[in-house]
């Protein structure tokens, strides 16, 4: 958000370690009623703790009416294939709090990222309910209602004819981060919404990268020239019978793990290797049943936080010589497209958990820019 020109009015994070990370980078601890010094206007005002805290409620009142975008990712574990998917019944389901924040500050737009598991058949009715509630967040769920009763009430709503600033046009977009230049296969859903009174006409950002172009370039040798390696027949053979749509061949090739970690030295176990922080080798890499390693000449597998935050096969990579090792925290951060200057707090397991819970920086930037472009007319005329 910051990189495309938005200025943070308020940030909130529950995880203590994630808060430490934010504070080590651009955030600054903040309390309602205080103002940031002019010299620190580009810092991110951070309130640490549960979004349901009274302190957060006071802060929301302070920024109400000034907010262009509410952006975030309500905890996704209830709906994740990697979690225990309790869904609506899970106390970690923070979608109701997202709707409350929207009612409090009336943003012009909303950007919400979550796991693709929300779109699975077993959760699809609840996902559709989320979209309907986001479209009409001021039609509040009563304390006596379960979500299905509330959903029936939302379904009966007609097209609004007044108070259009209380309704939103909602766009759910299934994405694979690799299609937007992230060197990682990461299936997610991005929900974008614009306040109806703004009459925003919006198209989702174009997918500019494709597997088709990567496979083509590996077949014709262009990829190997770029990475400075001899062609690997086993890599080419992996997708030898793959067929792709002609339009996908017009896109840029997916970025690979090898390209993402280029320039980093081979890590030494237990030691900081090279000048870039968090590049420390970790011993004991194994391949567990049901897990396969990351391949250098493909995008990385999805970086996961894990139910217990323990790195599994998804953090193991296969070297050119056929041996395995754990990816370092810095390599994982590169796969998430964080800059090398980004610092992560805590021990390795906590650092990996934070990365697994994050949105790839480049993916967030693509959607933030698309929303910023759509909002410019309404922002300039308000």
- Catalytic positions are 76
For residue 89, give both structure tokens. 């019944």
Q: Do residues 273 and 265 touch, judged by C-beta distance below 8 A?
A: yes
Flag whether pLDDT at 313 surpasses 90: no
- Among 218-222, 287-291, 303-307, the range of highest mean pLDDT: 218-222
pTM: 0.91
Boundaries of every domain in the chain: 1-63, 66-205+361-381, 209-250
Please give the average per-residue pLDDT across 150-157, as a whole number: 94
Flag whether pLDDT at 140 surpasses 90: yes
Angle between helical axes of 124-135 and 147-155 (0-180°, round to 10): 60
> What is the rounded distance in angstroms from the CA atom of residue 153 to the CA atom of residue 296?
51
pLDDT band at 292 (very low <50, low <70, confident <90, very high): confident
Paired strand residues for 294: 317
pLDDT at residue 308, as a whole number: 44
pLDDT at residue 41, as a whole number: 67
Flag whether pLDDT at 90 surpasses 80: no
pLDDT band at 91 (very low <50, low <70, confident <90, very high): low
Q: What is the largest CA-CA distance in the chain?
A: 66
pLDDT at residue 325, as a whole number: 96
CATH class of 66-205+361-381: alpha beta
Please give the average per-residue pLDDT across 251-260, as a whole number: 99
Q: Decide which of 330 and 82 is more confident.
A: 330
* pLDDT tens-place string over residues 166-210: 999 999 999 999 999 999 999 999 999 999 999 998 999 999 999
Of 66-80, 121-135, 164-178, 214-228, the range with the lowest mean pLDDT is 66-80
**What percentage of the chain exceeds 90 in pLDDT?**
71
**What percentage of the chain exceeds 70 in pLDDT?**
90
* pLDDT tens-place string over residues 316-330: 999 999 999 999 999
Q: How far is CA 212 from the centre of its chain?
A: 24
> What is the rounded distance in angstroms from the CA atom of residue 135 to the CA atom of residue 195?
9
Flag whether pLDDT at 345 surpasses 80: yes
Flag whether pLDDT at 216 surpasses 90: yes
Flag whether pLDDT at 301 surpasses 50: yes
pLDDT at residue 33, as a whole number: 74
């Amino acid at each position: 958000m910051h990189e495309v020109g938005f200025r943070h009015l308020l940030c909130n994070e529950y995880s203590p370690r994630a808060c430490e990370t934010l504070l080590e980078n651009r955030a600054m601890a903040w309390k309602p009623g205080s103002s940031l010094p002019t010299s620190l206007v580009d810092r991110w005002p951070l309130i640490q703790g549960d979004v349901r805290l009274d302190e957060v409620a006071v802060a929301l009142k302070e920024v109400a009416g000034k907010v262009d975008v509410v952006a975030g990712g309500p905890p996704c574990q209830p709906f994740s294939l990697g979690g225990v998917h309790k869904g609506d019944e899970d106390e970690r389901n923070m979608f109701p709090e997202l709707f409350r924040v929207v009612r409090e500050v009336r943003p012009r737009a909303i950007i919400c990222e979550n796991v693709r598991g929300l779109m699975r058949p077993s959760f699809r009715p609840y996902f559709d309910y989320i979209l309907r509630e986001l479209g009409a967040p001021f039609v509040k769920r009563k304390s006596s209602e379960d979500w299905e009763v509330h959903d029936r009430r939302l379904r009966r709503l007609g097209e609004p004819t007044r108070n259009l600033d209380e309704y939103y046009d909602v766009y759910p977009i299934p994405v694979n981060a690799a299609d937007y230049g992230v060197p990682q296969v990461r299936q997610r859903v991005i929900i974008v919404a614009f306040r109806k009174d703004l009459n925003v006409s919006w198209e989702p950002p174009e997918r500019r990268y494709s597997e088709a172009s990567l496979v083509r370039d590996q077949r014709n040798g262009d990829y190997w020239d770029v990475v400075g390696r001899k062609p690997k027949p086993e890599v080419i053979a992996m997708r030898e019978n793959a067929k792709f749509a002609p339009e996908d061949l017009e896109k840029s090739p997916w970025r690979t793990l090898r390209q993402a970690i280029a320039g980093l030295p081979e890590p030494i176990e237990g030691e900081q290797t090279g000048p870039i922080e968090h590049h420390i080798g970790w011993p004991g890499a194994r391949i567990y049943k049901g897990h396969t390693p990351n391949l250098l000449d493909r995008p990385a597998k999805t970086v996961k936080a894990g139910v217990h935050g323990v790195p599994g096969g998804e953090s193991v990579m296969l070297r050119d010589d056929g041996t395995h090792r754990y990816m370092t925290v810095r390599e994982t951060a590169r796969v998430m497209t964080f800059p090398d200057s980004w610092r992560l707090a805590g021990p390795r397991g906590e650092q990996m958990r934070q990365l697994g819970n994050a949105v790839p920086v480049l993916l967030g930037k693509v959607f933030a820019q698309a929303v910023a472009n759509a909002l410019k007319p309404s922002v300039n005329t308000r």
